[in-house]
Structure 1
Amino acid sequence: MTSETDSAKPPEAPLDQTPSATTSDVPAFGWSGYAERVNGRFAMIGFLSVLLVETLSHDTFLHWSGLVP
């Protein structure tokens, strides 16, 4: 029989696979929840960077980067 505190604990990972600092996910390659979370965070940083460039330069990102004349 388990108590409520036992069910709230994240599952323990093997000794060679330490969970992430922010989640109970174990870092893994491929289509894992951890990989998707990291990709989403980098996408948000990239999107905010584009907005910042456009705001500070008063020009579109594609024109600023030289991809569109």
Structure 2
Amino acid sequence: MYCLQWLLPVLLIPKPINADLFHYAFLILHLLSFFLEKKPCTICSIIFLTAVCLICYSCWDSCIFWSCRS
């Protein structure tokens, strides 16, 4: 679970008010490069992807990839 400590801060990055394409592209490229370079274990990857899916699905406006307006 050592690799999970490098993934969890990504969920805590505050989303800017005017989130533009560069913010989303930076996060996606950061995650992609992390997964290619560090090669986290399967359990950590599943835990992180589940947390991202739950946060984005709950629509608390804290999703790091898109803003959820109801």
The TM-score bracket by the shorter chain reads 0.3 to 0.5
TM-score, normalising length: structure 1:
0.32
Larger Rg: 1
Higher helix share: 2
Structure having greater relative contact order (Cα 8 Å, sep ≥ 6): 2
TM-score, normalising length: structure 2:
0.32
